[in-house]
Amino acid sequence: MTTLLRAHNLEKTYKIGEIETYALRGVDLEVQAGEFTAIAGPSGSGKSTLLHLLAGLDKPSKGEVYLHEERIDTMSIAELANVRLANFGFVFQAYNLIPVLNALENAAFVLELQGVGRKAREAKAREALEVLGMSQYADRRPNQLSGGQQQRVAVARALASNPSIILADEPTANLDSTTGLALIEHMKTLNIEQGVTFLFSTHDPRLLEHVKRIVRVEDGKVVREDVPELV
């Protein structure tokens, strides 16, 4: 298997006055191509912090992060921005769609940043929306979509640019049970049929029932890994 992401001895501290607080302590982690893996733990355990460090959205206080065996935590802000644009797809619990753009334009947004021509990016965005069952809503803006529909547009946006890995921070947190399960099934299908690599931060038991590996985080440390019986 091919290692996409690797973290070694990651630490993240925050200092308020004279008090230093650890968000992460000595975390080691590898993510292989084709994984459907969750970083799980209670609120405040450090799972979202870990996801952000792996994505280059934040820098560790100590330790190393590698993408395709290239170290990225020492890169400049501009270099990291280019790495993220070329390699990562992001799905956030708050959706982060652009209000003035319709679903198609939102799904095509990363491709536009990559410099892909209009016809090509619209074709890729339409394909991604079709995969997520959202093609009939291509002309609707976010305020005309339900929460679940907005989240599927966010997944389509992440998928359209063919990233090496999609990182999803609590993707089902704001969704009801039916909508959350439908989104999980869509993402699982992408993983199985198209080989899309997913890494989630979550404490949602609905999602944990479907992942292939669970990395358990408590108090900023990886305490164990589980391989659940898949549904």
Q: What is the CATH number of the domain that holds 77?
A: 3.40.50.300
Asked whether residue 61 is assigned to any structural domain, the reply reads yes
Q: Tell me whether residue 103 is in a domain.
A: no
Q: What is the pLDDT of residues 142-200, one digit of tens each?
A: 999 999 999 999 999 999 988 999 999 988 888 888 888 888 888 899 899 889 999 99
Structural domain containing residue 180: 3-98+164-226
pLDDT tens digits, residue range 207-227? Answer: 898 999 999 999 999 999 988
HEC states along the chain?
CCEEEEEEEEEEEEEECCEEEEEEEEEEEEEECCCEEEEECCCCCCHHHHHHHHCCCCCCCEEEEEECCEECCCCCHHHHHHHHHHHEEEEECCCCCCCCCCHHHHHCHHHHHCCCCHHHHHHHHHHHHHHCCCHHHCCCCHHHCCHHHHHHHHHHHHHHCCCCEEEEECCCCCCCHHHHHHHHHHHHHHHHHHCCCEEEEECCHHHHCCCCEEEEEECCEEEEEECCCCC
Residue 77 is assigned to a structural domain of this protein: yes
Asked whether residue 118 is assigned to any structural domain, the reply reads no
Q: Is residue 65 part of a domain?
A: yes
Number of domains in the chain: 1
